[in-house]
């Protein structure tokens, strides 16, 4: 079952988990991206998490 969570005060462990899910999803679905593309996008994803209120 999918559970929607409110994101409040994300700590480093939470951020690491969010980025792991993002990265594994991208690798599974965006096969056209090269390794360097994923590496270059990752900091933007980390910054963007601050603007997401629910996950």
How many domains are there within the chain? 1
Instruction: Please state, in angstroms and rounded to a whole number, the distance separating the CA atoms of residues 30 and 26.
Output: 5
pLDDT tens sequence across 5-36: 787 888 899 899 999 999 999 999 999 999 99
Instruction: Please state, in angstroms and rounded to a whole number, the distance separating the CA atoms of residues 49 and 55.
Output: 9
Residues 49/7, Cβ–Cβ less than 8 Å = yes
pLDDT surpassing 80 at residue 1? no
pTM: 0.80
């Amino acid at each position: 079952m999918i559970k929607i969570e409110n994101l409040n005060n994300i700590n480093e462990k939470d951020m690491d988990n969010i980025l792991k899910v993002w990265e594994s999803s991208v690798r599974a679905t965006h096969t056209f991206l090269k390794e360097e593309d994923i590496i270059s996008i990752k900091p933007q994803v980390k910054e963007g998490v601050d603007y997401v209120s629910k996950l």
